[in-house]
A and B are shown apart, each in its own frame.
Chain A
Amino acid sequence: MIDSPSVSYTGLSPVLFVLGAALVGVLVEAFVPRAYRWGVQLGVALAGTLGALISVILIAGRNELTLSRAVAVDGPALFIEGTLALLGVLSLLLLAERSPDMGGSAFVAQAAVPVGTVRDRQLATQTYSQTEVFPLATFALAGMMIFAASNNLLVMFVALEVLSLPLYLMAGLARRRRLLSQEAALKYFLLGAFTSAFFLYGLALLYGYAGTVDLRGIFDQAAGSEKSDALFVIGLAFLVVGLLFKAGVAPFHAWTPDVYQGAPTSVTAFMASCTKVAAFGAIIRVLYVGFGNNDWTWRPVLYGVAIVTLVVGSVLALTQTDVKRMLAYSSIAHAGFILTGTIANSPAGLSSTLFYLLTYGLTTVGAFAVVMLVRDADGEAGHLSQWAGLAKRSPLVAAVFSLFLLALAGIPLTSGFTGKFVVFRAGLEAGAAPLVVIALVASAIAAFFYLRVIVLMYFSEPAADGPTVAVPGLLTTISLAIATAATVLLGVAPGAVLDLADRAALFVG
């Protein structure tokens, strides 16, 4: 007979809040009358994520392994869960935004209706909309939280699927430009399924090597073992491929620009910020907890991967003409910056990664929120040429977007600079000076395409038939205000949050 494992409900409370919100959301979708659904769904989802955020704050400092050592409740897990809950709140506010689009929602009511049919045209003109995006988002968020907290590769795999499946669906929900959105969803699904298989195969090989899927167990088995390293190394390689794919790291980045461009922008904001946070949370846990004593197997590889990612992200971003694709390539470059800290395999590496994820996530949500606002008759004005002279039409939106761009470029007094500083410091302390120099050159290259947008907005004359800037609704305004404040605050006075990341930088077990 198998004893039921002990469950620390307190330690799991952040996850339980979000998961609970997701389940309630399904029931709401089924039983609440359509007229009230939007409000109730938003309320439930926000209650879940805010509840998670508050419970993270209340249980900060806990250190335990629960559910038979399957899930960790420790500094990094709670920091990531808190970050995800915060970014989740901001993203949900964007997902719920209805005012910019005359259709009443950025999401198609019946995603299964083929594009170009009579029904499709009817849908485009109706104000009728669905709200299933809320439970989908909260399910994904719960999956992300477990993903970054699992101390057991099998649980991590389940979490990976829980977070991925809703995202595949959400990517295909765009109300406008539906073909692009459906293509994005399919591409994301196919490549995602492929890498899930990689992850699973790596897991199997590691189980063959260590006889356990527990990260600490693998760590202990690998210490002073006489066994051949073949299974160990190949297994780790497959595992890492699966993780790097989710994090959008080159050479596994190919899906990023297409999916970011095709998905509804609010979903892109959610994916770009939360998925990246969760994926790096998982990467750093696997590498540090499971393979920290064998960093000769992964450090040189990630060193190279980081360089490729930095170069690919910053150079390809130069050639982009669509603002969402540009931000997608920028997110690839940022993955490279994060890796610069991650490869340090030290407490500084861990705390810098955590801090960077928070700053990057907040700025990214803000940047995509601005993209949602700049619209013309066909929906969002994605092409950069349409952004010319934006500062004349709406100085405030242009100023806020410039702030986010400067933060992404890493100009001092913005959060992006503090983040870059900590990861570069961790990298240098670990003796990765060449990588840091390459990362600095990449930031200089990246600065060019961020600046180009500022040049367009401020120094160019507006196009005659340029886009209008929608007045942000209350929800977007709240989201933007929080992201803006955080971007400035974490640049000017990052002390408290840096301390928090430092104190959180200890894995349990």
Chain B
Amino acid sequence: MSTLLLVTLLLPLVGGGVVAALPTGRQALAKQLTLGISLVVLVLTLVLAVRFDPGGERFQYTSSYSWIESFGVSFALGVDGIAVVLIALIGVLVPIVVAASWNEEPPGKRSMQVFFAWLLVLETMMIGVFAATDIFLFYVFFEVMLVPMYFLIGSFGGPRRQYAAVKFFLYSLFGGLIMLASVIGLYVVSNNQLGQGTFAFADLLALEIDSTTQRWLFLGFFIAFAIKAPLVPFHTWLPDAGAEAPIGGSVLLVGVLDKVGTFGFLRYCLPLFPDASKFFAPLALVLSVVGIIYGALLAMGQSDMKRLVAYTSIAHFGFIGLGVFAFTSQAGTGAVLYMVNHGISTGALFLIVGILIDRGGSRLIGDYGGLAKIAPVLGGAFLIAALSSLALPGTNSFVSEFLVLLGSYTTQPVFAIIGTAGVILAALYILLMYQRTMHGPPNPRLAKVRDLDKRELAVLGPLIALIIVLGVYPKPILDIITPAVEATMSDLGVTDPVPTVADAEATRD
């Protein structure tokens, strides 16, 4: 039993309660308190990641408390290599979001204190969804997570925030309810096979489910995660929610919340329903590859910067889906690394777009131009984030995208080749946006735009450093991810195909 994970989980919730309970008017204190708590959580998540033993047990820092005995539900926590890096990503992104939202002016006369309180509550929910090892508990976090995000979008978002918030909530809730049917179905199956129903992930892994049941249960989980990720055609809520959410909300929505979908594929769909996963893999691969191309094409057509970034994410989630459903440990490792890198680079991109919108007062690309001359540091930061988003070698995303394509080529060459075309499209949509906003004739309206200030540098600095460091030296993260992905692949019962080139070389000697 380790309480470190439990403390990491509960600290933001308690903090959120304290921030909400502060007397109104103490906005400055609320901000400082939120930043302080999120920094402590950052330290805790980093400790979790550093002390995680890649060669040890699959689930570490486990703890379990009986919760609802008559359902066999326990409050069971534990992280594998995949979850621990995603939790570290949350730890990194939340303080950055807090700092980025420091001077935000909420619509109406709403209090930013409420914003920060919801943000901390959201952090607990996000950590919980990755740390739960009981499927019931996972489901609870999966659904409750919607509430703080709903209020963040609905109360603090852009002009069409009501529409976006409700659409986001209903899409996710619908998927969640379909998943609930499968969750209960799993319980019923476990009840029939073990004599006592359980939701514990480890026990459910041991079930022998017949393939018809597997397919139905798989679909329940798959639809929920495909909406969450989102894969085409379940994606339409993302551009609305991503564009209307406050910038901090967008970063967490796209950077972390959506990862729950792809994380769910890897953690729940593949190990629990191996036969069904293989049966539905072609469908998932088609949706992923369509997402890569379709998301990229739609991104190119956007004139709104926030929507553009949201659409690029749909393309990126296609890559992650390709990596997950290619069923090789290389592609799987690439997909997990992609989740982390996407959180960093898209987070940076959203923050920079947010700064741009703050300066220029418009979300439209056409209202900008020539900014690199006026604000060179902003331009430079934008360029690095953009290059990371298009996966230029030397940036973090290159490693993961390359791993995904390399790993999937061995089992799914056709899909891998089509996916590679997405790389080219990514260069187009990102560089076009960069060119139109940063180069060309300067827009006279923006002549007096100031460059990044110290706070904004502090916000973007860590992300840009991570983009470069992880691009050059991703090994520490890969070391943590690889055993977990290999365990998943062995649950699935697949072994990596032996590269044929190596055979040829061996015979030549």
What are the nearest 6 A-B pairs in CB distance?
A412-B140, A440-B177, A444-B174, A459-B154, A498-B70, A412-B143
The answer to whether A499 and B69 touch (CB under 8 A), given A424-B180, A440-B180, A458-B155, is yes
- Residues of B whose CB lies within 8 Å of any CB of A are 67-71, 108, 139-140, 143-144, 146-147, 150-151, 154-155, 161-162, 165-166, 169-170, 173-174, 177-178, 180-181, 184-185, 187-188, 191, 216
CA–CA, A428 and B154, complex, Å: 36
Q: Which residues in B have their C-beta under 8 angstroms from that of A406?
A: 147
- In the assembled complex, 15 residue pairs joining A and B whose CB atoms fall closer than 8 Å, in A order, are A421-B180, A424-B184, A425-B71, A425-B187, A428-B184, A436-B181, A436-B184, A443-B177, A444-B174, A444-B177, A447-B170, A448-B170, A459-B161, A460-B162, A498-B68
Contact with B along A481-501 (1 / 0, CB 8 A): 000000000000111001100
Q: Which residues in A have their C-beta under 8 angstroms from that of B181?
A: 424, 428, 433, 436-437, 440
Q: Which residues in A have their C-beta under 8 angstroms from that of B185?
A: 428, 433
A413 part of interface (Cβ distance < 8 Å): yes
> Shortest CB–CB separation between residue A57 and chain B, in angstroms?
20
> Shortest CB–CB separation between residue A10 and chain B, in angstroms?
29
A411 part of interface (Cβ distance < 8 Å): yes
The answer to whether A459 and B184 touch (CB under 8 A), given A429-B191, A495-B69, A498-B68, is no
Contact B173 A495 (CB under 8 A): no
Contact B151 A444 (CB under 8 A): no
| Chain A interface residue bracket vs B | 20 to 34
A30 part of interface (Cβ distance < 8 Å): no
The answer to whether A459 and B165 touch (CB under 8 A), given A412-B143, A424-B184, is yes
Closest to B171 in A: A444
Contact B68 A494 (CB under 8 A): yes
Contact B70 A499 (CB under 8 A): yes
Q: Which residues in B have their C-beta under 8 angstroms from that of A493?
A: 67-68
Closest to A355 in B: B70
Q: Which residues in A have their C-beta under 8 angstroms from that of B180?
A: 421, 424, 440
Contact B161 A495 (CB under 8 A): no
Closest to B177 in A: A440
Closest to B180 in A: A440
Closest to B162 in A: A459
> Shortest CB–CB separation between residue A209 and chain B, in angstroms?
36
| Interface-centre pick from A425, A448, A461 (highest chain B CB count, 10 A) | A425
Contact with B along A7-29 (1 / 0, CB 8 A): 00000000000000000000000
Which secondary structure dominates chain A's binding surface? helix
A452 part of interface (Cβ distance < 8 Å): yes
Contact A412 B166 (CB under 8 A): no
CA–CA, A236 and B166, complex, Å: 44
> Shortest CB–CB separation between residue A263 and chain B, in angstroms?
31
CA–CA, A413 and B155, complex, Å: 22
Q: Which residues in B have their C-beta under 8 angstroms from that of A461?
A: 108
Contact A413 B144 (CB under 8 A): yes
Kindly identify, within residues 431 to 451 of chain A, every residue whose CB is under 8 Å from any CB belonging to chain B. 433, 436-437, 440-441, 443-444, 447-448, 451
Contact B68 A428 (CB under 8 A): no
CA–CA, A459 and B178, complex, Å: 28
A455 part of interface (Cβ distance < 8 Å): yes
- Residues of A whose CB lies within 8 Å of any CB of B are 406, 409, 411-413, 417-418, 421, 424-425, 428-429, 433, 436-437, 440-441, 443-444, 447-448, 451-452, 455, 458-461, 493-495, 498-499, 502
Q: Which residues in B have their C-beta under 8 angstroms from that of A411?
A: 143-144, 146-147
CA–CA, A170 and B188, complex, Å: 45
Closest to B157 in A: A459
Q: Which residues in A have their C-beta under 8 angstroms from that of B184?
A: 421, 424-425, 428, 436
CA–CA, A34 and B166, complex, Å: 52
CA–CA, A413 and B185, complex, Å: 20
Q: Which residues in A have their C-beta under 8 angstroms from that of B173?
A: 409, 444, 447
CA–CA, A437 and B144, complex, Å: 21
Q: Which residues in B have their C-beta under 8 angstroms from that of A451?
A: 150, 166, 169-170
The answer to whether A441 and B139 touch (CB under 8 A), given A461-B108, A494-B68, is no
Q: Which residues in A have their C-beta under 8 angstroms from that of B151?
A: 458
CA–CA, A118 and B150, complex, Å: 52
Q: Which residues in B have their C-beta under 8 angstroms from that of A447?
A: 169-170, 173
Closest to A406 in B: B147
Closest to A460 in B: B162
> Knowing that A413-B140, A424-B181, A493-B67 are A-B contacts, what are 7 other residue pairs whose CB atoms are under 8 Å apart, sorted by A's residue number?
A413-B144, A433-B181, A437-B181, A444-B173, A455-B154, A458-B155, A459-B165
The contact of B166 among A413, A448, A499, by CB within 8 Å, is: A448
CA–CA, A437 and B184, complex, Å: 11
The contact of B70 among A409, A417, A444, A502, by CB within 8 Å, is: A502
Q: Which residues in A have their C-beta under 8 angstroms from that of B108?
A: 461
CA–CA, A498 and B71, complex, Å: 9
CA–CA, A433 and B184, complex, Å: 10
The contact of B68 among A409, A458, A495, by CB within 8 Å, is: A495
CA–CA, A34 and B216, complex, Å: 66
CA–CA, A493 and B185, complex, Å: 22
The answer to whether A429 and B188 touch (CB under 8 A), given A412-B143, A459-B155, is yes
Q: Which residues in B have their C-beta under 8 angstroms from that of A417?
A: 143
CA–CA, A424 and B71, complex, Å: 13
CA–CA, A158 and B149, complex, Å: 52
Q: Which residues in A have their C-beta under 8 angstroms from that of B155?
A: 458-459
Q: Which residues in A have their C-beta under 8 angstroms from that of B161?
A: 459
Closest to B169 in A: A451
Q: Which residues in B have their C-beta under 8 angstroms from that of A437?
A: 178, 181
The answer to whether A412 and B144 touch (CB under 8 A), given A424-B184, A433-B185, A444-B177, is yes
Closest to A425 in B: B184
Q: Which residues in A have their C-beta under 8 angstroms from that of B187?
A: 425
Q: Which residues in A have their C-beta under 8 angstroms from that of B69?
A: 495, 499
Contact A452 B166 (CB under 8 A): yes
> Shortest CB–CB separation between residue A428 and chain B, in angstroms?
5
CA–CA, A240 and B400, complex, Å: 62
CA–CA, A413 and B75, complex, Å: 13
Contact B165 A495 (CB under 8 A): no
CA–CA, A461 and B155, complex, Å: 11
Contact A428 B188 (CB under 8 A): yes
CA–CA, A498 and B191, complex, Å: 18
Q: Which residues in A have their C-beta under 8 angstroms from that of B177?
A: 440-441, 443-444
Q: Which residues in A have their C-beta under 8 angstroms from that of B162?
A: 455, 459-460
| Interface-centre pick from A429, A441, A459, A493 (highest chain B CB count, 10 A) | A459
Contact B67 A495 (CB under 8 A): yes
CA–CA, A406 and B178, complex, Å: 18
CA–CA, A161 and B143, complex, Å: 44
Contact A455 B165 (CB under 8 A): yes
CA–CA, A1 and B473, complex, Å: 99
